[in-house]
Amino acid sequence: MPEGQFNALAAQRKIKSYHACSPYGEGFNMQGFKYWLANHGPIVARLEVDKAFMFANRRTGVIDRYGGGMFGGHAVVIAGYDEDGNFLVKNSWGRRWGYRGFIWVSENYAKAAFNESYGVTV
């Protein structure tokens, strides 16, 4: 689906409910993330932005190592996962960041970088 069409469709919807997947300061349950994504939809997450995330581009591939929150907090959407346990992250910095606004992060990176998350239903 083209990004413009996706954004127009998303603008017509509202969050009906949310579920704390990992309240601030608690560890992540990756199986819980995968279950939520497969059965309910996206997860809104807060992460501490490091250099790898800040400067991700289409050649970055999967971001695996977390370097620490050098650039402060930021909110993103975890949109899916693959068979290798990597998570697809949608950012709000436009199509020039990552690969058309998306990037893959490993489970290890997610555990280190994401510190709060909410599953949402629309």
**pLDDT (tens digit per residue) in 53-90:** 999 988 888 999 999 888 999 999 999 999 998 999 99
> Model's pTM, two decimal places?
0.81
- Starting at the edge strand that comes first in sequence, how are the strands of the sheet with 102-105 ordered? 17-22, 114-121, 43-48, 73-81, 87-90, 102-105, 62-63
Predicted pLDDT at 25: 54
User: β-strands 17-22, 114-121: how paired?
Assistant: antiparallel
Supply the CATH classification number for the domain 14-121. 3.90.70.10
Q: Which two tokens stand for residue 3?
A: 């990004």
Domain positions in the chain are: 14-121
pLDDT at residue number 60:
83
The pLDDT of residue 28 is 65
Asked whether residue 23 carries a pLDDT value surpassing 60, the answer given is no
The pLDDT tens digits of the residues spanning 98-122 come to: 999 999 999 999 989 988 888 877 7
- Triad 60, 65, 78: Cα angle to 5°: 70
Return the structure tokens found at 88.
Answer: 């697809």
